[in-house]
Chain A
Amino acid sequence: MSCCETTCCDTSDAEQTPAASEFHPQVDIVELTDEFVVRADVPGAKADDINLHYEDGTLTIHAPVAARQDDETHYLRREYGVGDFRRTLSLGDQVDAENISAAAEDGVLTLHLPKLAGIKPRKIDVNTG
């Protein structure tokens, strides 16, 4: 998996030639004391193919998913379509972009976005006089 940070400018081929159909992955975003955690459902996507881009507080997820059946497949029942997952999320300006980490397992992408040092809560000791 490539985790693209602010300094890197990855314009993937998929960006220029969008897939026939793209889908919004469902996401959860939670905030802990020192980081944000983003989880996205990207069933069928391979970890190595996922592109992530973070810039100015905006996280872009692009998880290419290749077709699993021929175009000519005659479906007896078709309840969902298959295609790339793409989504842009706004996370504010508290993220330490240099230290974002990501992993994908069983079709779920998990990102850890640490908060900038100045934003993390700090315990303040009170000295006795």
Chain B
Amino acid sequence: MVRLYSRGVSPLHQLRDEMNRWLEGIQHETPRFTFGGSPSVFPAINVWEDDKSLLLEAELPGMKVDDLNITAVGDQLTLKGERKLDESDDVTVHQCERAGGSFTRTLTLPAEVNVDQVEATLIDGVLRLRLPKAATTSPHKIDVKTG
């Protein structure tokens, strides 16, 4: 990429700006979210499998389907969303443990999935995904021929 230095901007400033962009990129990518007072990955997930599918579950209390954006590409799954909390200014806060805001979490699935057939439900704040494994990763019985 070719960048033109504008007048009065030194290479040092350019470097600083470059660093800032890089740091912003890291902050954007890192799935960190303050939850329960301490920084942790949000949302926490459980993953298990059956013969045909990977199953993933995440606890997202208070979230609506419209607040969530789930994308799957190959073996990469991204959960994106915003948790909105009821907040008003005219209150005295006695305890504040629930956290809100935007989050992004990308994970590498242990198998390629058929992205067209992913099923998702969100019931009582629990998200559940059924991700059918791509045909190539489903177990195949291999017949051994004699002779």
Contacts and interface: CB of A to CB of B under 8 A. Distances in A.
Given A30-B94, A41-B98, A43-B60, A80 B124 contact: no
A29 B61 contact: no
Given A41-B62, A43-B61, A77 B47 contact: yes
Interface stretch (B20-28, B84-92, B134-142): B84-92
A20 interface: no
B95 interface: yes
A122 interface: no
Interface in B32-62: 35-36, 41, 44-49, 54, 57, 59-62
Interface stretch (A1-9, A11-19, A66-74, A95-103): A66-74
Nearest to A108: B62
Interface in A102-124: 106-108
A77 B110 CA distance: 10
Interface residues of B, number: 33
Given A41-B98, A106-B64, A108-B125, A75 B59 contact: no
Contact of B48 (A39, A41, A74, A89): A74
Contacts of A37: 91
Interface of B: 35-36, 41, 44-49, 54, 57, 59-64, 85-86, 90-98, 110, 122, 124-126
A32 interface: yes
A27 B85 CA distance: 12
Contacts of B95: 27-29, 89
Contacts of A42: 61, 125
